[in-house]
Amino acid sequence: MSEYAALQSEIEAEISAASDLPALEAVRLSALGKTGRVSGLLKTLGTLPPEERKATGAAINVVRDAVQSALEARKIVLEEAHLAQRLASERIDLSLPAAPRAKGGVHPTLQVLDEIIAIFAEMGFSVAEGPDIEDDFHNFTALNFPEKHPAREMHDTFFFNPDENGVRKLLRTHTSPVQIRSMIADKPPFRLIVPGRVFRNDSDQTHTPMFHQVEGLVIDKTAHMGHLKWVLETFISRFFETGDVTTQFRPHHFPFTEPSAEMDVRCSWEKGELKVGSGDSWLEILGCGMVHPNVLKACGIDPEEYQGFAWGMGVDRLAMLKYGVPDLRDMFAADARWLSHYGFSGFAAPNPASGLS
C-alpha cells in the first residue's frame, strides 16, 4: 500500500505547487481525469483476485478522496488570490470627479418662439407654416409689391439662378407668403400666426442674413384697427409679463397693408436693462396694418365683403429685448459658452398656466 501513499504525496505536492487556476485544473485532470493516475488505478480493480479487491479499492478511494479535498482547498486559495489581484488591478478611485457631461439648452430664439405661440394660441390663433424657398408671386406680387420695389433687387434679397424657364426663386424675405398660401388654399375667416426663418442680405449688430419672424393674420367681415390694437397690446402685456403697457402707433408704409403703422411701446432703460411699461422712451416693436384690398383680390377674396389686419415681428429681436442679449450675431455663432449662459432648460416649456419665462 506504500505505493498509494507515495502517489498521494506526489499529487498533493503538485497541487500545492499549482500557482493559478489553469495549472490546478491540469493537475486535476492528470490525477482524476478519465486517463488520470488515480482513475487508472481504479480501472485495475477488475483484474485483482476477489480477496484483494476490497482492500485495494478502499486504499485507492482514500487516495482519491484526499486528492479531491486537496484540490478543493487549493482552489479556494487560488480563487481568493485571483479575486484580490483583480480588485487591486481594476480598482476605481471614487474620490476622483466624474468626467463633465455635455450640457445643452433651449436657444433663446426657440424659447421666445414658444412663448409667442403659447400667447396667441390662448387667443385662438392657429399656426401655419410654409416653404423657405419661394417664388416671385407669393413673396412679392401677391403682396402688392411694385415691379421696381427695392426688395426685388439682389442687394436686398437672396435669389437663386434662373431655372430652364427663366424663373428665379428666392429665399423668402418674410413669412407673409404663408399668409398668401393659406388664403388661397382655404376660405375666410382666418385667424393664424406664421412663425419661421426668413432671409435678407443684411448683417450688423441688430441684423443677420437669416433671422426669425412671426406674422399674424386676421380676416373676417368685421375686423378693424381697434381689434388690431387690442390683439397687439394684449400680446405685449403677456410677453413682457406686465399689466402696465402703453403703446403708440406711427403711420408707416408697407405694400401689403393700408393703412400701415409701426407700433412702439413705452419703456425705460435702467442700468442697461429694458423695462416695459414705464419711462420716457419708446421702443419700436413691430409693423402692422389693415390688409390691402389688392392682397385680398390676389388671393381670390372679395375686399367688398371681407377685410382684416396683419402684423409682423422679429423673434430674435424680441429675445434680445426680453433677455438682454447685446448682439444679434452672437445668437447664430454656434458658441456653446453663449448658449450655456443664455439658454433655457428643456423642461421649462412656456405655457399660460405655469408662466412663460
**176 plus 233 within the same structural domain:** yes
**143 plus 180 within the same structural domain:** yes
**185 plus 215 within the same structural domain:** yes
pLDDT in tens, 248-262: 999 999 999 999 999
Which of 187 and 99 is assigned the larger pLDDT? 187
In this prediction, residue 354 has a pLDDT band, given cuts at 50, 70 and 90, of low
CATH number at residue 227: 3.30.930.10
108-122 vs 225-239: helix crossing angle, rounded to 10:
130
Residue whose entry in the numeric block shows the C-alpha cell 414705464: 278
Beta-sheet pairing, 133-134 with 126-127:
unpaired
**199 plus 139 within the same structural domain:** yes
**Residue 267's pLDDT is what?**
82
**What is the total residue count of the chain?**
357
CA distance 144 to 54: 118
- In this predicted structure, which of 30-34, 285-289, 353-357 has the lowest mean pLDDT? 353-357
**165 plus 235 within the same structural domain:** yes
Q: Would residue 136 count as lying in a domain? A: yes
- Looking at residue 75, its amino acid is K
**60 plus 112 within the same structural domain:** no
DSSP-derived secondary structure letter, 273: E
Mean pLDDT, the chain, as a whole number?
85
**Residue 230's pLDDT is what?**
94
- Tally the domains of the chain: 2
Highest mean pLDDT among 231-240, 272-281, 323-332: 231-240
**221 plus 137 within the same structural domain:** yes
**Residue 353's pLDDT is what?**
60
pLDDT in tens, 121-145: 999 999 999 999 999 899 999 998 8
In this prediction, residue 174 has a pLDDT band, given cuts at 50, 70 and 90, of very high
CA distance 102 to 97: 15
**Residue 352's pLDDT is what?**
61
What is the rounded average pLDDT of the residues 161-189?
Answer: 91
pLDDT for 221 beyond 90:
yes
Cβ neighbours of residue 83 closer than 8 Å, sequence gap 6 or more = none
**83 plus 149 within the same structural domain:** no
DSSP-derived secondary structure letter, 50: H
Q: Would residue 354 count as lying in a domain? A: no
**56 plus 115 within the same structural domain:** no
pLDDT for 204 beyond 70:
no
Q: Would residue 95 count as lying in a domain? A: no
Which of 25, 59, 89 delimits the end of a domain? 89
**85 plus 126 within the same structural domain:** no
Q: Would residue 96 count as lying in a domain? A: no
CB contact at 8 A, 347 and 331: no
CA-CA distances (angstroms) from residue 46 to 32, 43, 55, 63, 193?
18, 7, 13, 18, 100
Which of 113 and 155 is assigned the larger pLDDT? 113
**Residue 300's pLDDT is what?**
93
pLDDT for 11 beyond 60:
yes
CB contact at 8 A, 244 and 277: yes
**Residue 205's pLDDT is what?**
62
**Domain limits for position 191:** 108-342
**Residue 240's pLDDT is what?**
85
**Residue 256's pLDDT is what?**
93
Q: Cis (ω within 30 of 0) for the bond into 189?
A: yes
Q: Would residue 322 count as lying in a domain? A: yes
Q: Would residue 336 count as lying in a domain? A: yes
DSSP per position, 281-348? EEEEEEEEEEEPHHHHHHTT--TTT-EEEEEEEEHHHHHHHHHT---GGGGGS--HHHHHHH-B-TT-
Of 136, 76, 132, 112, the closest CA to residue 328 belongs to: 112
Q: Would residue 16 count as lying in a domain? A: yes
pLDDT in tens, 46-68: 677 777 777 777 777 787 888 88
In this prediction, residue 162 has a pLDDT band, given cuts at 50, 70 and 90, of confident
H or E element, residue 147: none
Q: Would residue 352 count as lying in a domain? A: no
**134 plus 66 within the same structural domain:** no
CA distance 6 to 214: 97
Q: What percent of the chain has pLDDT above 90?
A: 35
CA-CA distances (angstroms) from residue 310 to 230, 286, 287, 295?
13, 11, 9, 11
CB contact at 8 A, 350 and 268: no
